[in-house]
Structure 1
């Protein structure tokens, strides 16, 4: 068992090296040798854990996604034992925005992967399902809000979820480029949620 934990830690060490290189200069020209040097391991050990360059990029992305999901769960857990649906949806949408250093670094890595998403079928497959999965999650939360009286029944949950997710994702680049402040992005999300959560039980 301890041996497996060591393997996981080593894979994460290498993945974090990929992330650092991605945020500094993108991924188009990154080599296995550069990643090995950044991670402080031999190229042979890197290939043992991940194989080819493409497999390394895919593996590092999968670890990043797992890490993001875990951090999101931790932040949502801090909302308390029985948060209202408004707070839960708000928390989910905030995970799509670079609101602190951890999320900013993560979204910079995602930005570096973007060109690869367009040209690499394996990476594209990982990326393509993410927005729909988020839309389905937010749709389900809004439906629960309708069932509990926190969201009006005449709201189209699926349409609103698609709009909210697309809006939050659309603000990622402008916040990363500091064209828009994190506070402005939060205010825009809150404005849209106030339009949806119009009942007195939406806290």
Structure 2
């Protein structure tokens, strides 16, 4: 009887290897050969699952997105029923910030993918959709008539804090203090 292969697990193994290669050597070093060596599989296997670098990059970003969603879901569930909007926003953003080793690895991959899509606009629509959904969700939690603009600013702040955390300019404590200050300002507007 032929052995059953978990194709999703293999694709994730390859995506994780890509993230490690990108984190250790930079995105420009990502090749099927390097990814295969890191994953402990053949180059042919990588090519079997992914036709080109764009496909493996997009899949790796999906893995990062799924991990982020799982972190957010778990963090929000710990809040219980109907948490106040400010606490909910802080919890969501803190779960997405690169505050530990795992989230830093995911954050590096997300940042690398943003840079990658900057020169490959055909890959950017998914990111635009994600951004629009996130801004809409955040705007629904913020007070005031300019909630959409404030939500876009808060999302930009989150991305900037992520870059500073990844670059070592901010500690986790500093980033969370900046986040708390901004949330305090946004929620103080409503009285």
The alignment's TM-score, normalised by the length of structure 2, stands at 0.87
Stretches of structure 2 that go unaligned for 5 or more consecutive residues are none
Q: For 1:11 and 1:188, how far apart are their aligned partners in 2?
A: 37
Q: For 1:180 and 1:63, how far apart are their aligned partners in 2?
A: 26
Equivalent pairs counted in the alignment come to: 189
Q: For 1:28 and 1:164, how far apart are their aligned partners in 2?
A: 31
CA contact 1:96–1:169 (8 Å) conserved in 2: no
CA contact 1:104–1:176 (8 Å) conserved in 2: yes
Q: For 2:167 and 2:20, how far apart are their aligned partners in 1?
A: 18
Q: Which has the higher contact order (CA 8 A, sep 6+)?
A: 1
Change (3 A) 1:3 1:87: farther
CA contact 1:58–1:122 (8 Å) conserved in 2: no
String of CA shifts for 1:147-196, please: whole Å, max 9, x gaps.
Answer: xxxx4xx4522122111111111122212122122111111111121223
Q: For 2:17 and 2:122, how far apart are their aligned partners in 1?
A: 21
Cα shift at 1:20: 0.5
Q: Which moved more, 1:14-23 or 1:38-47?
A: 38-47
Alignment of 1:77-88 (within 5 A): 77-88=77-88
Aligned to 2:49: 49
Superposition CA RMSD, Å: 2.3
Cα shift at 1:198: 3.7
CA contact 2:85–2:141 (8 Å) conserved in 1: yes
Q: Which moved more, 1:172-181 or 1:13-22?
A: 172-181
Alignment of 1:1-203 (within 5 A): 3=4, 6-142=6-142, 151=143, 154-198=144-188
